[in-house]
Structure 1
Amino acid sequence: MVSIFLSMLVFAFIGAVSPGPVNIIATGAGANFGFRQALPHVVGASVSYSLVVLTTGLALNMLLYWLPSLTEALKYLGGAFLLYIAVKVACSPVVTHAERALANPPSLLQGALAQGLNPKAWLVAMSGVSLFVSAQQPAWLYLLVFCSISLIVCLAGVGTWAAIGSLIARYLRSPMRMRVFNVLMALLLAVSVLSLFV
């Protein structure tokens, strides 16, 4: 039992810290608004991911078995939303230190939506549930543990990306550097989304 929980932890850690749309948004939020202002995005994305794992464990595998076209629909819906976020990041005005108080960092709801519509999150959750929950008894206990591990590790993983963004903010003090950074983050987000369709 302990070995499977350790495997869950390693799996969740790799999924949480690997580059992806939510982590790219967290890095941008940390760089543009600071770590504290990025926390609602971090919490929203983390809670949303644990709900994705729960949903997957309870129903989605069965639903996708009967309606395989739903997988494609979710993929395109999530991809479109994340490309919209990429455009918003690329076109966002450069926020000076004085203007930061008036600007809006990503909210808890935006973090939750970004994760809930993130195709990577669903694919990782489905893989994790099939690896660590489906064949175990009692399945509900393993699902509960996997959801809890996923929440904690996601908070740490996405939070780390926001902290990295906050740390590099001092190097991005000039408007030109910040503009280049925002466009680079938007391009990385777009590439990470488009790579799911190739």
Structure 2
Amino acid sequence: MDVAELSPLVVFALIATVTPGGATTLATASGAHFGFRRSVPLMAGIAAGLASMAAAAAAGLGGVLLAVPWLQVVMKLAGSLYLLWLAVGTARAGAPGSPGAAARPVGFLGGVWMLWQNPKGWTMTLGAAASFAALAAGPAQLAVLMGATFAVAASLSLSLWCLAGLLLARLLRTDRQWGAVNLLLAGLLVASIVLIWI
């Protein structure tokens, strides 16, 4: 398999991971509040969650999850509650170091959970697995290929969003500015909840 054969999958994974959503919003907020280094566990968790989801979808698990309607509803409810909890925490956070600010960023497991409960993510990775199945000799090879591609793409994309948050933090000077940005980021997390149900 050469680079030309892989390029459509790589482009798809980069576009899918760089577009705004709950994960990118959380990476931006974490970068703004905690800096890049302290946000690495969150970004690694999101990347690992997406990579394992893509691998599982390629291996066939995604199809099973999407074929069970009640499980989809449970995943949507759990995911919506988790994102709502994150949105409330983001909205209530003050400037870094203020009494209302979170003491530490969301960690690795929180990032993994954020991805695994998202039925929309399962649909996307299942569609990718079906679209790019011809790149691999079988489900196991496709699972490795998909997992590795999405892990790298998510790591790059989330790093960009985290750095954008870090740059944003350098522009914010007052508590009022931080409050406005926190509300905006919380609103984007709530919007990602709406997208789960559409």
Q: Could you tell me the TM-score, scaled by structure 2's length? A: 0.88
**1:45-87 CA-partner distances (Å, limit 9, x unpaired):** 1011111112222232442465233223322322221122111
Aligned to 1:161: 161
What are the equivalent positions in structure 2 for 1:35-184 lying under 5 Å apart?
A: 35-64=36-65, 66-96=67-97, 103-133=103-133, 136-184=136-184
Q: Gapped runs of 5+ residues in structure 2?
A: none
Runs of 4+ in 1 over 6 A off after TM superposition: 97-100
Alignment root-mean-square deviation, CA: 2.4
TM-score (normalised: structure 1): 0.88
2:129 and 2:142 in contact (8 A); partners too:
no
Query: Residues 20 and 120 of structure 1 are in contact (CA less than 8 Å); yes or no, is this contact kept in structure 2?
Result: no
Q: CA deviation at 1:37?
A: 1.3
Superposed displacement of residue 17, structure 1: 0.2
Q: Once the two structures are superposed, what CA deviation does each residue of 1:76-116 show, in whole Å capped at 9, x if it has no partner?
A: 3222211221111112233238998x821221222222222
Q: Give the length in aligned residue pairs.
A: 197
| Contact 2:29–2:185, Cα closer than 8 Å, also in 1 | yes
Q: Give the Å deviation of 1:36.
A: 1.2
Greater shift in the superposed pair: 55-64 or 81-90: 55-64
> For 1:160 and 1:51, how far apart are their aligned partners in 2?
21
Identity, % of aligned positions: 26
Q: Which runs of 5+ in 1 are unaligned?
A: none
The aligned counterpart of 1:11 is 12
| Residue of structure 2 in register with 1:23 after alignment | 24
Distance in 2 of aligned mates of 1:66 and 1:108: 28
Of 72-81 and 186-195, more deviation after overlay is shown by: 72-81
Residues 119, 94 of structure 1: alpha-carbon distance in 2 compared, 3 angstrom cutoff: farther
Q: Does the C-alpha gap of structure 1 residues 34 and 110 become closer, same or farther in structure 2, counting only changes over 3 Å?
A: same
The answer to whether the 8 Å contact 1:35/1:166 transfers is yes
Q: Sort the Cα spacing of 1:65 and 1:87 in 2 relative to 1 into closer, same or farther, 3 A.
A: closer
Residue 167 of structure 1, CA deviation: 1.0
